[in-house]
Amino acid sequence: MVKEISNDWNQTRRMKRFIVGPMVTLEYSGWLSKRVNDNIPEPSSEGARPMEEYLQVVSSELEIIKQYFEKRNSKLKNKIEQLEEEKMHLRLDVDVQKLEAEKLRKRKNKVEEDLDSLKTDYKKLCLSMKTARLGNTSKQWGQEVREERTKADWWERKFREAQVQKEALERSLSETQDEKEN
């Protein structure tokens, strides 16, 4: 880019000489012959500094770009670290939800077993009541049957609640896994 600008400047200067050449004064010609690189007069040795001092002051375009990319790289590294930390937290959340879902499955299975056991006990009780008809009056048997039905109803409600809770957790787990995959 700098070379293109320099070439354009030199071309403009040459055209100016060609057009303005006959109108140039002797003083201008003398001044122009002392110039180097079209716009810098020849340096005198008095008070001259080494070229390194001039170059140290001005940062090169490459250094500026390098600093820009280093800053950007640092920001991106921080963003990556944040995303990695968030990823770790999400994995922990998924693990916790899996554990909770497993607990609920176990609890549901236990409730189902208890319900089945109660139903079996209830059937046995009904059968024994029909066959035995001993010890209790019909009023007492009716009371005991109502109590057993109440217990069975209670266990059935618990079973339904556990099923609803299980389904909610399975949906939640499925949504979490979908989010994790995305």
Q: In the prediction, which pLDDT does 120 show?
A: 92
Residue 12 inside a domain? The answer is yes
The boundaries of the domain holding residue 24 are 1-41
C-alpha to C-alpha distance for 31 and 45, rounded to whole angstroms: 18
Burial 36-55 (b: 16+ CB within 10 A, else e): eeeeeeeeeeeeeeeeeeee
pTM: predicted TM-score of the whole model, two decimal places: 0.32
User: Per residue in 101-157, pLDDT tens?
Assistant: 899 999 999 999 988 988 898 888 877 767 766 556 677 778 888 998 998 899 999
35 within domain boundaries: yes
Greatest Cα pair distance, the chain, in angstroms, is 145
85 is a domain residue: no
53 assigned to some structural domain: no
pLDDT given for residue 69 in this prediction: 93
Do residues 107 and 36 both lie within one domain? no
Residue 134 forms part of a structural domain: yes
CA dihedral 145, 147, 151, 156 (to 10 degrees): 50
Q: Give the pLDDT score at 77.
A: 95
Enter the DSSP assignment of 36.
E
User: Does 116 reside within a domain?
Assistant: yes
Does the pLDDT value for residue 18 go beyond 90?
no
User: Structurally, how many domains does the chain consist of?
Assistant: 2
